[in-house]
Chains A and B, each alone.
Chain A
């Protein structure tokens, strides 16, 4: 079974430029998460999707960040314009979701995209 796929793996851009990250979750997983992870810290949730609906985007800086999951499968996270402080690893994770019927909803992480803003 294929895992969570993310691209690109690495991205270097200059500040004020736009950037986009793509995620393909594990087949059949209804819930998709985008996290930001700074060096030496745990992942911080940016947005969570249940199918195509964003059910928690309270931590997403909406002035510059946007995300979409149009068909309830793949997702894209965009930053426009990027700032120096956005340099981090952006992780995508997926899980079966609430439809799995319980609280034992394990998340599986993709390899992440390491963003460097110069």
Chain B
């Protein structure tokens, strides 16, 4: 059974700070990794995907992947109150094309 773990939070950071969200996964054959943002009462929306070891930057967001350590993270720079949401880590393998979601980390950015 593949597992994806996240700290449930809440993670509170002041406005303008860097928020760091972490995710670990158990399946070594996992190939693709996704970060979704979910506002309360809304459906998940894709923020970033990452497939190779290293960093991937998109605006204020940076995803970091370390397959050897089975670890993926999301950094949010210059955090804004509008970033307050639950962030879901999702992992997919190249066999079944099935996403396994973590439980999510709730982020609160304080003005």
Chain A positions within 8 Å of B, measured between CB atoms, are 31, 33, 40-45, 48, 56, 91, 97-98, 103-112
Contacts and interface: CB of A to CB of B under 8 A. Distances in A.
A110 B98 CA distance: 17
Interface of B: 4, 8, 31-32, 34, 42-46, 49, 51, 88, 90, 92, 94, 96-104
Contact of B101 (A42, A104, A108, A112): A42
Contacts, number: 55
A105 B31 CA distance: 11
B103 A41 contact: yes
A67 to B, nearest CB: 16
A98 B104 CA distance: 27
Contacts of A111: 42-43
Given A98-B97, A104-B49, A106-B46, A40 B92 contact: no
